[in-house]
């Protein structure tokens, strides 16, 4: 998808004004013309990533057809990150990326990109333990779990997202001594509420993505076992 120089200049100007935070906005077609709509970045760490405000998205969608997403990389080259690629696939529209300092541009569009299970770089709310769970059940069983918004360290804000939503996604609690391959283990890692999900692979192994680490297959050792809050199995399994 091509955008005009005028639209590119508006995106760049926005990026410069928001620097050192990441800017974000939407490209829409309104009355036959391409328009750039500035949006708020409500991410907890706006210098590292962006989260587009729901109200801005709704307003843009009401004004016209959303045909693109734009954001900035203030500290990095405008090369799409894995997080960008994952989010681009979810959006279903092309993405435009600009570095406000070098004024260089990057571009990507949905192409069927999928992350491998192991070796993912953690990015809260975009590439995290729940992302891995969603991808696993989609690929292995064609089960589409809903993607819930999760603020950074949501459990410290008194939110128990896993307990509140796992039944909505078709999971039921099971005794820990009855776990089998493909079951989920919800853990409290240095937290007083469940804040981590791991997929049990059998033979005392789990597939998971711990914050600050790459996703991996690990032994279900004593540390993880003692921090399990509950286990769950999808009704279809």
| pLDDT tens-digit map of 118-177 | 999 999 889 999 999 999 999 999 999 999 988 888 999 999 999 999 999 999 999 999
Instruction: Indicate whether 113 belongs to any domain.
Output: no
Look up the CATH number of the domain holding residue 89: 3.40.140.10
- Full-model pTM: 0.84
All residues at 6 or more sequence positions from 4 whose CB lies less than 8 Å from its CB, including other chains: 34
Question: Does one domain contain both 100 and 179?
Answer: no
Question: Does one domain contain both 46 and 92?
Answer: yes
Q: Give the residue carrying structure tokens 């959006």.
A: 91
All residues at 6 or more sequence positions from 217 whose CB lies less than 8 Å from its CB, including other chains: 118, 201, 205, 206, 207
Instruction: Indicate whether 86 belongs to any domain.
Output: yes
Q: Of 77, 108, 139, at which residue does a domain stop?
A: 108
Number of domains observed in the structure of the chain = 2
Which residue range(s) make up the domain with 78?
A: 5-108
**How many CB atoms sit inside 10 A of residue 106's CB?**
17
- What whole-number distance in Å separates Cα of residue 170 and Cα of residue 177? 21
Residue range 56-86, pLDDT digits in tens: 999 999 999 999 999 999 999 999 999 999 9
Look up the CATH number of the domain holding residue 229: 3.90.1720.10
């Amino acid at each position: 998808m091509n955008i005009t120089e005028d639209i590119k200049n508006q995106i760049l100007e926005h990026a410069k004004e928001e620097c050192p935070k990441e800017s974000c906005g939407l490209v829409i077609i309104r009355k036959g013309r391409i328009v750039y709509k500035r949006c708020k970045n409500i991410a907890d760490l706006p210098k590292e990533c962006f989260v587009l405000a729901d109200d801005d998205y709704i307003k843009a969608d009401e004004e016209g057809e959303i045909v693109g997403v734009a954001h900035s990389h203030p500290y990095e080259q405008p090369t799409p990150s894995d997080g960008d690629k994952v989010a681009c696939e979810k959006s279903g529209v092309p993405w435009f990326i600009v570095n406000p300092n070098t004024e260089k541009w990057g571009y990507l569009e949905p192409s069927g990109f999928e992350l491998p299970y192991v070796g993912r770089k953690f990015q809260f709310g975009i590439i995290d333990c729940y992302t891995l769970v969603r991808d696993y059940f989609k690929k292995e069983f064609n089960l589409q779990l809903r993607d819930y918004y999760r603020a950074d360290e949501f459990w410290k804000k008194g939110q128990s997202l896993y307990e509140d939503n796992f039944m909505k996604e078709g999971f039921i609690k099971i005794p820990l001594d009855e776990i089998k391959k493909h079951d989920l283990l919800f853990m409290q890692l240095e937290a007083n509420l469940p804040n981590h999900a791991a997929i049990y692979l059998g033979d005392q192994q789990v597939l998971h993505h711990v914050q600050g680490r790459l996703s991996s297959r690990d032994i279900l050792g004593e540390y993880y076992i003692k921090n399990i809050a509950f286990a769950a199995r999808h009704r279809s399994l």
